Amino acid sequence: MTETRRIQLHLGKCIEDLDKLYNVPDLKSKRATLLCKTAQKLFESAEEARAKGDEEYSYVYYMKYLRVIAFISKDKEYLKDKNYFNNMLGPKNPNKALDAAEKLKISLIERYAKEQKAKRLMDIQENELIKQKIDENRKKAMDTIAAEPPPPTGLPGPDEVTIKSDQLYTILKNGKLKVMILDARPGKDYINSHINHPACISVPEECISPGQSANVLEQNLPSASRPVWAERASSELIVMLDWSSTTVIPGKPLHLLKTILLKWDIKVQYSRQPVALWGGYEDWLLKYPAFTTNPQAIPPSQDIMLDDMLGEIDYPNWSDLNPTPADSRPKSSEPVIDRASKSAAVELYAERSRNMQHILEQQELIADTSLTLEMQRIEAEQDWEKIRQQGETEHRDELRAMYQLREQEIISQLMQLENKQFDMEQENQSLREKLEDYQRREREEAAKLAESIARSQLTPSADNEAVATAREREAAARDVEAKRARIAAVTAQRVSLDRQREALETERKRKLAEAREKQKPNYKEEDADSYGSSTESASAALNRSQSSPNIAKVSSDEEEPVVPSFDRSTKPAKVAPSSELRQRDFQPVWADVGRGLTGLKNLGNTCYMNSIIQCLNNTAILVTYFCNGQYLEHVNRSHSTRGAIAEELAAVVRGLWSGQYRFIATKDLRNEVGKHQRTFRGSEQQDSHEFLTILMDWLHLDLQFSIKPPLKENLGASERAWHEYTKSKESLVLRLFYGQIKSTVRCCVCATHSATYDSFSNLSLELPPHASRCTLSDCLKLYLNGETIPGWNCPNCKEKRDAVKKLDISRLPPVLVIHFKRFYLDPKEYCNAFRKRQTYIDFPLENLDMRQFSLNCPGNPVYNLYAVSNHYGSMEGGHYTAYCKSSVYGKWYKYDDHLVTEISPSEVKSSAAYILFYTSCER
């Protein structure tokens, strides 16, 4: 039977389904002759079905036939006259049927399995698609400044948030575009009058509330609106309107509606973001009354609108501010007009007001972002709950493993969101302080201004000027007040949302905490392996998580050595020879990704390792060294690690730079690391700084080569100490990462000093103990600047003296690694509990000038940041990621275990920053 002739499976889902079908009941009462006839018929049917390519029916009929035959063979009549019956049945048929049934069974089992697998694949692809869509929608909402090709004429650009009445009018008249108009004014206003267009529906503001999904909103809509609403996916342009808004103000119905559509409507992918009608229905009514259902409608009176609400705020008159100086002015004498000081005051005031505007704008932005974060958190927690439930009820191993992975993803996402919110609060706090400061000074300036104006009141020209200034001031004050009102409104909304969330989700949080606790046992080797391992049972899981056409490759080509396609045009063109002979189990998930943009699978709390590997993997010179095989000349076996750590890391780096894996597992590297350091063996969370420090030492030992020792006479103290430390053994790692610190101890009495030198592979900096914000410079100063040492044995005084210890960097490495000591032992706790300082540290992304922190070192003292190892959460239940700037693409990426995503440079600085990697090499 050829493949092409087989018809589709239709009868069952597995062979057991068919086995239920060939029961032949009620045979005892039947006579043998009759049974023989039945058997013949069954055999014929089986043959017939087989000829048609229906393997299922054919199999069922053969099996039925064989049952009947088995029954006949025990029949008394049959036993009396076997030959007769055998002839009647066809002597060869039973064997033929047996043969056929067996073959069919094998074929069917195989086909059912294939079908199951295909179905699972589809389920998963669908799941991935939904996830992708959510991501896309989210990105779209955040990414309002994405560059897109120019819009067709008449349409607002992709970045535009509004559309003018005349633009909309032209589009509607033209009739070529499918437009949907969402009228978000109160329901009764819509009924009274609205744009006369069949797809203009009422989405009453009273139905729109924050945190709503599109589904919930749909249920609240007036029934007349629903049919058009249901068509929204096919709309090419969605226009929202209220009475008079000229923009989309966060916290107002149009913004909420837009948010609901873009972020909470996962079923629909909008081709462009909804735009607001500029000036609202009022503007439309004014310009196109003929295009409305009732041109007589009257817009609501101005004073209830937000913009004009400010008109009601009472501003103090400038002249009331400080009347005393005017009164105390000597009346008899000529007025003293201090023009210089007045104009200075005005100028100063203008500047203050500009600065204040700026702060308020920033605060506004923070309030909006923090609202978005809050929504994202709710969304993430809801996602998590859903995934958790699905994971719990899922019996299929691969799917359960996938849910676990997703659960893990969401938990780490939540930790990151919490961190972001923390940073936001910090920033807001600092802005609040700045604002208070400005307000204080503003009051002072206002008092001065009032004084100077009062003094010049008698001169008419001065009077005009004063009035003009006062007007300006009043207008500015109004503006400031308007902004404040906006911020207050948005903040209030966020707070209420927060409260709502807190109330509703205490339970969810408890469960989440439980899950975080459980995370460790969940990630035992076996569990982690069930996702995407190379064993047969999990090959389906592998196929699932990548939808590239490489499915066959995954299962069959695993032994193929990994040859990264490194850009050799700019790098030494040397190919690594032998080390790839060793097989490595990368458990790869294939995808066409950019070079260096491959993720690393979490092997059970190995994010600390992954984070460090990705930071090193973005150290350009090191990558070249590993990828072009140069390192092979240096690998040596003379130390305890026997070159293996370097070899494994090189293999991982080459894998990460091949650009053909979405993510890989680093089992071999991890095993090797575990061999030499017990703490990194288990699946407990570890400190990424500790790992980095040990890894650096290992790599230096593994890649050491001897150099000719320099003549000691020609060396300064620092260089001599350096050569004593290196013992004429060098490595690329030493040259790149290792620096030297000079420590000078000076006697407080006789000023005698003594210097010692220590090398470092990273600087480990304390944080200022009580600050919630500080700068990298603060930390460096704290680290380097004097520390008093009581009872120092002064070699000159020959007595114990107080001394001061001062540090200086005496050798700057080309790659400067800086670690923040965020973890500290809480002295109040009995059982060595580590606490974490979540200080927000401001560090430069570019042009970190180390000159002020170092002695006159050779080399370039100006550094650029290229990688950050981040830590979220606490020491025990934490999570690590890496932010790295790609040397190929020049953009920043977040490496969150197996996920690699582009981020904006503005996201790089956060209170999660734990280890910074700076380079002074040209990039």
Considering 255, 819, 879, 898, which one is annotated as catalytic?
879
Q: Residue 828 Cβ, how far from Zn ion at the closest point, in Å?
A: 38
Q: How far is CA 199 from the centre of its chain?
A: 38
Asked if 607 is an active-site residue, the reply is yes
Q: How many CB atoms lie within 10 A of CB 709?
A: 10
| Residues 31-70 interacting with Zn ion (rule: CB under 5 A) | none
Angle, helix 607-616 to helix 688-702, in steps of 10 degrees:
50
Considering 200, 207, 607, 615, which one is annotated as catalytic?
607
Residue 730: C-alpha distances to residues 356, 616, 702 (Å): 55, 19, 11
Q: Is 794 in the site for Zn ion (CB under 5 A)?
A: yes
Q: Is 793 in the site for Zn ion (CB under 5 A)?
A: no
| Residues 724-753 interacting with Zn ion (rule: CB under 5 A) | 747, 749-750, 752
Q: Which is nearer to Zn ion, 306 or 804 (CB)?
A: 804
Residue 819: C-alpha distances to residues 256, 460, 617, 638 (Å): 42, 66, 18, 30
Q: Residue 757 Cβ, how far from Zn ion at the closest point, in Å?
A: 21
CA dihedral 74, 78, 79, 82 (to 10 degrees): -130
Question: Do 629 and 712 meet the contact criterion of CB atoms below 8 Å apart?
Answer: no
In three state form, how does the secondary structure of 841-873 look? EECCCCCEECHHHECCCCCCCEEEEEEEEEEEC
Q: Which is nearer to Zn ion, 7 or 750 (CB)?
A: 750
Q: How far apart are CA 835 and CA 822, in angstroms?
A: 8
Read off the tokens for 486. Answer: 């906006």
Give the three-state DSSP class for 383: helix
Enumerate helices (H) and strands (E) in the chain, giving the number of each: 28, 26
Q: Which is nearer to Zn ion, 219 or 796 (CB)?
A: 796
Q: Looking at 155-163, 306-314, 583-591, 800-808, which segment touches Zn ion (CB under 5 A)?
A: 800-808
Q: Which is nearer to Zn ion, 675 or 805 (CB)?
A: 805
Looking up tokens 């992918």 gives 269
Binding mask 296-335 for Zn ion (x = CB under 5 A): ----------------------------------------
Q: Is the dihedral of CA 508, 513, 516, 522 positive or negative?
A: negative
Q: How far apart are CA 300 and CA 281, in angstroms?
A: 11
Q: How far is CA 184 from the centre of its chain?
A: 33
Q: How far apart are CA 468 and CA 293, in angstroms?
A: 46
Alpha helices in 639-687 (DSSP H): 644-656, 667-676
Cα Rg of the chain, angstroms: 38
The residue number with the shortest CB distance to Zn ion is: 747
Q: Residue 741 Cβ, how far from Zn ion at the closest point, in Å?
A: 23
Q: Which is nearer to Zn ion, 258 or 746 (CB)?
A: 746
Looking up tokens 């501003």 gives 315
Q: How far apart are CA 81 and CA 71, in angstroms?
A: 15
Q: Residue 758 Cβ, how far from Zn ion at the closest point, in Å?
A: 23
| Backbone dihedral angles phi then psi of residue 910, each to the nearest 5 degrees | -155, 170
Q: Which is nearer to Zn ion, 458 or 750 (CB)?
A: 750
Residue 506: C-alpha distances to residues 372, 502, 917 (Å): 20, 6, 39
Binding footprint of Zn ion, residue count (CB under 5 A):
8
Q: How far is CA 419 from the centre of its chain?
A: 12
Q: Is 121 in the site for Zn ion (CB under 5 A)?
A: no
Residue of the chain from 796, 852, 860, 901 that contacts Zn ion (CB under 5 A): 796
Q: Residue 906 Cβ, how far from Zn ion at the closest point, in Å?
A: 52
Q: Residue 753 Cβ, how far from Zn ion at the closest point, in Å?
A: 9
Q: How far is CA 256 from the centre of its chain?
A: 23
| Residues 750-779 interacting with Zn ion (rule: CB under 5 A) | 750, 752
Q: Residue 786 Cβ, how far from Zn ion at the closest point, in Å?
A: 16
Q: Residue 871 Cβ, how far from Zn ion at the closest point, in Å?
A: 43
Q: Residue 806 Cβ, how far from Zn ion at the closest point, in Å?
A: 16
The DSSP symbol for 81 reads: -
Q: Is the dihedral of CA 448, 454, 459, 461 positive or negative?
A: positive
Residue of the chain from 797, 875, 888, 899 that contacts Zn ion (CB under 5 A): 797
Q: Which is nearer to Zn ion, 233 or 750 (CB)?
A: 750
Question: Do 463 and 339 meet the contact criterion of CB atoms below 8 Å apart?
Answer: no
Q: Is 803 in the site for Zn ion (CB under 5 A)?
A: no
Q: Which is nearer to Zn ion, 636 or 754 (CB)?
A: 754
Q: Which is nearer to Zn ion, 426 or 743 (CB)?
A: 743
Q: Residue 421 Cβ, how far from Zn ion at the closest point, in Å?
A: 53
Q: Which is nearer to Zn ion, 86 or 752 (CB)?
A: 752
Catalogue the active-site residues: 607, 879
Binding residues vs Zn ion (CB under 5 A): 747, 749-750, 752, 794, 796-797, 801
